Amino acid sequence: MISLLLVDDQPLIRRGMRALLKADSKLQVVGEAENGQEAIAQVESLHPAVVLMDVRMPIKDGVAATREIGQRFPDTKVLILTTFDDEAYVRQALQYGASGYLLKDTPFEELTQAIRLVHRGYTQLGPGIASKLMQAPPPNTAQSSFAWADLTPREQEILQLIAQGASNREIAQTLYISEKTVRNHVTNILTRLNLRDRTQAAIFVHSHRPIS
């Protein structure tokens, strides 16, 4: 059972989401919040596995709440679910630790699948979201390109597989190496590129990988 916290400033949206999610026996809504500040308090008391987080909310928005949840409660995954697909929102939310970014028109089956994948550690981006990240690379592109070139070919392979959402086991099977070796490579990659987690690694690849 995957425990969920619904965060949205519109009660009608939360009520509708709760009703829909009841149809999936593997998901359980354990709480609701109407802004980012309430969300943080609910995460602290309820320890949900996944937070479905809106972006624009009063008092504390979803991006700021995602950042604090990522810092204080690393075991809780945040999946952004919003109507806003602005590139700045997407990039900032992912950089602050969101495990995915979906729009509210996502079909129910795709949403529940995304929740499961995020819970397992994958990054989930809605259609068109990844292209927004690639179309508008952030500053320090030259420095990041140098960092990419400074990686070994094996590290570049692993980083690209991370960006595709592959787990350590899947990377090990693809490259015919052990999971322990993959974990060591991932740790080295994150350290050398000054990245916090696999989500930031995926953003790095989409934004800075040289076009061959």
Structure-token match 């070139």, residue found:
149
Asked if residue 149 has pLDDT above 80, the reply is no
Integer-rounded Cα radius of gyration of the chain: 17
Q: How far apart are the first and last CA of the chain?
A: 43
Could you list the beta-strand ranges (E) of 48-131: 50-53, 77-82, 100-103, 124-125
127 contacts: CB under 8 Å, gap ≥ 6: none
DSSP 53: E
| Total-model pTM | 0.65
The pLDDT tens digits for 108-148 are 999 999 999 999 988 888 877 776 666 655 544 444 555 67
- What gap in Å lies between CA 142 and CA 101, rounded to an integer? 27
* The predicted structure's pLDDT at residue 49: 96
